[in-house]
Every structure is written in structure tokens, then in C-alpha cells.
Structure 1
């Protein structure tokens, strides 16, 4: 991998020092990602104790709402890159003003997402042909849960600013606050504990909104407290605000499109996989959940990657871009070691947590299934880190074309192996792997060419 990009030998670069700096930025974001993953599962675990209808309703509603949270979170990447570049140019005054403009944009974006999502609730759920009880609970849950969209984009933008300034511990604290508030709120409001009303699924939604609000308030307070060290200043120019919003959209739109297309692709593959039966469908979603858990470290490394490469790009230091990419990619792949041990040494134990192991063996050996999942995750890691590096140096339009081409190839392949060749679970996993491998290879070639001396 050291030959992947033209960079000096790691020893000459002070490898241990570089790795230490990356990990200082990355580890709080890793724990933050773990906390947010727990947040998405707490509602399901507790609501499942109420009724099957409530569990199904929360699953449908949260899947729909995820689309809007994706938009707020992915656009924050544009703000992080924009601030990092200004810091690389040694213009802390402009970096501070851009940060505040990004926060104001987060507030406006939250209001827009709230209005749009709330207006779509009834039409979307009405078109799903849900059972009457499930439809009613999903609507009640969403009508409360949607209020969290007022503040979620602001929280994402604030976390992006802290990431650009490499102050990621505040992001970790906010995530821990979110998990604790949601856990306690779920227990009280779903089941009516400590004098609170027993609200069922509606209680889970209210607890989530309170968790998002508390976390966002903490981030806002932390930013106000650190306004002088960060150089934050109130906006003075509508023109700068418009330029900042345009830059955030330009830098973040490719990430937004990527996540939305990925979401649509997985949804279509799930539809094609459904006729093969519950075991195939369940195992595919278990593999996706395991991939999500193994990818937790990536979020931290991409934040570090974005911050450091953005600064190197702003300071016109292409050699350092290659250096940071190399070290982040190496550390990212090393984070897979625990997952490799679990899925390749004790695969039956891992899959047994989710599904009966005898049912897994009907599809294939747990060892080979675990090995395949690890391979897909490794491809996703390379794809994610390389994509982060390219976006941080301003390569954006390339991703729109790549995503559309990759999606067309993947869905065409998925239709062939699932509908024509009847591969079932293995076909669905192969289609997901093809998407990651194709984009990872093309992105790596693009970045390597960009780092060549004649390209500069």
C-alpha cells in the first residue's frame, strides 16, 4: 500500500507522530459514531417490548425519516471542508466567519427539512398499504419525531466545525449526552416510569427529540464558550453568507447524492431479495448491520482526513495530501483487525446473536459468509477514505458521474444474479460488493493521477 501514492517513506515523515495526530482527532468521533449507532437501536429494542405493530411502525417511520437526517448530515461535510481550507490558508478570521455562516445555514436547513418532511408524512404512509394499526402508530410517531429535524442539521454543522478545528471531544460529549437522554427518556415515556405518562411509540419519538435538542444545545454552548479560541465572529456580509452556502452545497452535494443513491440501491436489492424468503432477507440485513458496526472507525478517520487534507490543500502542499491519505487509509484498514478475528475465527458466535445458526448454514458456511462481509467492508473503507480525500481537494463533479454509472452497473448486476440466476443472499451481497469495489478502484486511480507531479 505504500506504493499506492507517491509519498515519502513513513519513517521519514515521522510515522508515529502522524499516526498519533490522526488518532487524537479520530477516536472521539469513533466513539461518537458508536453512540449514535446505539441511539438508532434503543428505540427499536424498547418499542419491541410494547407490540409487534409498534415495532413495525417505528421501523417504517425511522427508515423514511433517515432520508432527511442524511441530507443534514452529509451537507455538513461541505462546511467542514470549507473551514479546513480557510485554516490551511492561515485565514482564521475568515474561517471563523464561515463557521458562523454555516451554523446559520444549519438552522435554515432544519426549518426547510421540517416543513417538507411533515408535509410528506400522510402521502408516503398512505401509499404503503400498511395495516391500520401500523399506519396509525407510524403517523403518530413521525409527527413527534419530525420536530427533531429543526435542530439536527444545526447539530451536524456544529460538529463539522469542531471537526475542522480538530476539537472532536466536544462531538463525543454531545453524542454521549444524546444517548443518555434518549435511553432515560425512552424508559420513562414508553413505559410510564417515574410518574411520566406511558406513551408507547409516541414516547420513543419524544425521547429522541429531547435527546437531539439537548445534544444540540450542548454543542451551541460549547461553541459560544470557545468562540474566542476558534475566532468565531458574527456575520457581517450577506454576500459572504450566500458564498458560504453555495460552497457548502457544492462541496457537500456529492456526499448527499452518494448516500441517497446508496439508500435507494439497498432498498431495491431488498425488494428483489424478498421472494427468496425470510432467512435470505434477514441474513442480508444482518450482514449490513455488521458492516455498519465495522465501519464505525471510518467516520473518525474521514473527519481527520478531511481536516488535515483540507488544510494541506488550502496551504498548497500536495505532498502532504498524499501523506495524510496514506496514513489514514492504513490506520483505517488496521481497524478491521478485531472484525476479521470475530467474523473469520468465531463466525458462528457472531451470526448466532442475530439469527439461528442452523438457518445460516442453509445458505452457506458461516466462515465464508463472514469472510465475504469482511471483504465488502475493506472495499467500503478504501472507497470512503479515497472519496474523502478527493472531495477535500475539490474534486466533486467526478463523483456525480461515478455514482450514476456505479448505480446503473450495480442494479443491472443485481437484477441478473437475483432475478435471473437466483443467487439469493449471495447475489445481494455480491451486488453490494460490486458497487464498493468499482467506486473504490476508479476513485483510487483518479487520486493517484491527481498526485502525479505533472498533474500539479
Structure 2
């Protein structure tokens, strides 16, 4: 559960923003669909980079090389914050030009920029936060992640209500208020993380507070008073950063390609009309909600697979991945069943507009079938990533995305098909992803990859 929640923090923030903005108007609902996916794409870059560190930390834990964890963590953190600065500058000074290239509706464009102006500063807290999540996930101590996510979620909900609608003495800011609320919530959650790290004595086992603290901790937990550990490499190590980049770049590109294709999907849907965009954003909110269990299992399998390989148990990788996929499918389908039983209630997540809800119901069957495939396919794909075969996973995803974008363009622009037909792109995408991931994982070509 902690990993499940922690891995979906950005999805939860976007979902919360969507829920509140769905009560403001169709323009705001359509805008958050576009700018929300755009910000998820930016946030996924940092999250994907942290996955490399998580895999490396889990591998060191499996090999019981605890003194090597701190250099991995600090190197990962320093690079992530540098990257956050570059992306913040891009969003602040290039965001309006970027959206002008794609968004045709002037009202939706203005709303997107209003949100982004306040949301962009959150990238620093987001990137630093996912690095901390990677540390605790990699070492298998995840309880703090769920506490932090609860604090973030509650803070975001309270501030969203106050800043969007002008309650409790806050100014009425509309969609801009959603951006500001999310940024403040992330900042507050980050402070909680920092306090916990300093209070958590077990972090001394990883060398986070220096070599002397590591030796003292090791002596306190050992009967041997003569414990002497080799001096660790510098906390910020360029060689480690290079290794992380080598491992993470394919994962980062996977996220950019994957989230970028989703952004393009919504851009194409906007060409179908404002109502179609609003309907798609309602379904996106539902889609994000029911994705949460699977994202948790997917993050877990990254760590499990890497840890097994670190223990020289590569023969168990496919079996463990399959068991995780079955569990992910079962949990996801139990949750998704509510959408088939009471679609009108579930779709109220995105809006109170009864007309939009009725028009959205026709997509529930497609989304349910897609979630079934996703709950299995994402596990096998992330199991493959956990082996360190990130380049191979990237090429598999690029192939899936090429088909995905070609399909959307053809059915919307050439054949003028319905919204249901356009959404089938997600279904076909996960069929291809599942098939190729299982094939490569079973091939065992990944067994000689070093991390």
C-alpha cells in the first residue's frame, strides 16, 4: 500500500485538481486535461530518473552493501535538483509558446497558462520528493511514504477548495488556485519528508549522515567493537551520476514518449470539440484513479526484481513478476467493478454536469477493458525495467507509441471516427505492450546486464 500510494502522488494531485475544477466549468475541465497531462510528463522525467537510483539501491540492499547507498542517494538528488531548475525555467519562460503551438481554443489556452504559472515551482519539491521515495522504496522501508502522501493529499484538497472557490478568506483564483494549491501542498509534504529523514536513526546504516555516523551505527548493532568500514566514495560522485544516467535515460525517454503520446492524444481530441475534450478528461480522472493500485505493484516489482538479481536468484524473476501481475489484476478489477455497477456515481469524480456524465458512460466499457490489460502489462513491463534492461524496454515502448499515435491520427483526422473508437487506442497499446514485455522477460536476454 505505501508504494502504491507513493508511486501515484502526481496522479493523485492531478486527480484532485480535476475533481475541483470539474465543478468550475467546461473550459477549466478541458484545460486541466491538457496542462495536467503536460505537467505529469514533466514530473515523470524526475520520477523515471529516480527509478534508476531505486534499482541501484535495491541491488546494493540485496548484496548487503549498505555503505554504498548514500553516494547513490546524494548523487541522484543533486542531479535531480539541477534538472528541476532547467525544467522550471522552461515552464516559466517557454510554457506559453509551447501551448500556443498545440491549443486552438483561446479560452482553454489562457486557462492552461494560468495554471502553469503557479504550478511550475512545484517541480523542485516533486523531484526532491521522488528521490526520497526511491531511497525508502529501494531499502524496503516504505511506511513513511503513505503518511507523507496522506499529508500531501489532505493539504491539496483543503487548499484547492479555498483557493479555487475563494473560501475561508482565500482569494477566488479558479484554475490558477489549483496550481498554487498543488505547489504549496508539495512543499509542505517535502518538509515532512526532511524532518522524518533527520529523525530516522536507521538512515545511519546507509551512511546518509556521514562515514563516522555509519561506523557508530554499525558498532551499536554489532558485537564487534573493532568495526572498520572502508571509506565511501564522495557523496556526490560523477561516476555514479553517469551510471545512473546510463540506466535511467531509457526510462526517462520511456516516460516522455509514454506521457507525450497521451498529451498528443488530448491535443487531437481537442480538435474533435470542447465537449469531447471535457468527456475525455472525466474519463482520464477515472482512469488515473483506478491506475493507482497497479502503479504501486509496478513500483514494487522494480525493487523485487532488482533485489532478487542482487541475491543471485535470477531464475525466480519471471515467477515473482507473474504472481505480482495476478495480484495487480485482481485488485484493479475489484476497484474497477464499481464503475460498471454504478457509473453515474463514479463519473461524478470529474463533474456534476449530468449531461456530460451521461455522454461519458459510453466509454466505461472501453476503459474497464483497458484497465484489465494495463494492470497486467504494466507489471511485466516494469519487471523488465527492474532487470536493468532499460534500453530494450525503451525500444518496446517506442514501437507501441508509434502504433498508438498512428492509430489516433488515422481514426480521428482521416476517418472522423467516434470518441469511443479514439479511446480504443489505449486498449490496443496495452495488448502490444503486454505481449512484447512477456516475450522479452521470458527470453532471459537480460541476465547478463550489470547495474
Normalised to the residue count of structure 2, the TM-score between the two structures is 0.81
Deviations 1:131-155 (A, max 9, x none): 7776566445433321111221110
**84-93 vs 338-347, which deviates more?**
338-347
**327-336 vs 103-112, which deviates more?**
103-112
Residues 111-150 of structure 1: matches in 2 within 5 Å?
A: 111-127=85-101, 138-150=112-124
Q: Is 1:412 aligned to residue 383 of structure 2?
A: no
Query: Using the alignment, how far apart are the partners of 1:274 and 1:129 within structure 2?
Result: 8
Structure 1 equivalent of residue 227 of structure 2: none
User: Against the structure 1 CA distance between its residues 169 and 108, is the aligned structure 2 distance closer, same or farther, given a 3 Å change threshold?
Assistant: same
Residue among 437, 446, 450 paired with 2:440: 446
User: Against the structure 1 CA distance between its residues 141 and 445, is the aligned structure 2 distance closer, same or farther, given a 3 Å change threshold?
Assistant: closer
Query: Using the alignment, how far apart are the partners of 2:9 and 2:39 within structure 1?
Result: 19
- 8 Å CA contact 1:84, 1:165 repeated in 2: yes
- 8 Å CA contact 2:384, 2:393 repeated in 1: no
Q: Is 1:324 aligned to residue 300 of structure 2?
A: no
Q: Is 1:434 aligned to residue 428 of structure 2?
A: yes
- 8 Å CA contact 2:294, 2:332 repeated in 1: no
Structure 2 equivalent of residue 228 of structure 1: 204
What do you get for the CA RMSD once the two structures are aligned? 3.6
Query: Using the alignment, how far apart are the partners of 1:285 and 1:140 within structure 2?
Result: 18
Normalised to the residue count of structure 1, the TM-score between the two structures is 0.80
Structure 2 equivalent of residue 245 of structure 1: 241
User: Against the structure 1 CA distance between its residues 360 and 42, is the aligned structure 2 distance closer, same or farther, given a 3 Å change threshold?
Assistant: closer
Structure 2 equivalent of residue 310 of structure 1: 306
Deviations 1:22-52 (A, max 9, x none): xxxxx12324466654422333444566676
- 8 Å CA contact 1:281, 1:425 repeated in 2: no
- 8 Å CA contact 1:284, 1:428 repeated in 2: no
Residue among 3, 13, 16 paired with 1:42: 16
Q: Is 1:390 aligned to residue 364 of structure 2?
A: no
Query: Using the alignment, how far apart are the partners of 1:148 and 1:454 within structure 2?
Result: 39
Residues 24-173 of structure 1: matches in 2 within 5 Å?
A: 27-32=1-6, 36-47=10-21, 60-127=34-101, 138-173=112-147
Name the SS of the counterpart of 1:335 in structure 2: helix
Give 1:57 deviation, angstroms: 5.6
Query: Using the alignment, how far apart are the partners of 1:275 and 1:136 within structure 2?
Result: 17
Query: Using the alignment, how far apart are the partners of 1:133 and 1:277 within structure 2?
Result: 13
User: Against the structure 1 CA distance between its residues 274 and 119, is the aligned structure 2 distance closer, same or farther, given a 3 Å change threshold?
Assistant: closer
Deviations 1:151-185 (A, max 9, x none): 21110110111111112121111111112222233
- 8 Å CA contact 2:59, 2:307 repeated in 1: yes
Give 1:105 deviation, angstroms: 2.6
Structure 2 equivalent of residue 4 of structure 1: none
Structure 2 equivalent of residue 214 of structure 1: 188
- 8 Å CA contact 2:74, 2:236 repeated in 1: no
- 8 Å CA contact 1:36, 1:175 repeated in 2: no
Name the SS of the counterpart of 2:237 in structure 1: helix
Give 1:324 deviation, angstroms: 2.2
Query: Using the alignment, how far apart are the partners of 1:420 and 1:129 within structure 2?
Result: 20
Deviations 1:94-149 (A, max 9, x none): 12331232223332222222223222124224545777776566445433321111
Structure 2 equivalent of residue 256 of structure 1: 252
- 8 Å CA contact 1:302, 1:385 repeated in 2: yes
User: Against the structure 1 CA distance between its residues 105 and 37, is the aligned structure 2 distance closer, same or farther, given a 3 Å change threshold?
Assistant: same
Query: Using the alignment, how far apart are the partners of 1:311 and 1:454 within structure 2?
Result: 15
Query: Using the alignment, how far apart are the partners of 1:433 and 1:45 within structure 2?
Result: 25
Give 1:439 deviation, angstroms: 1.7
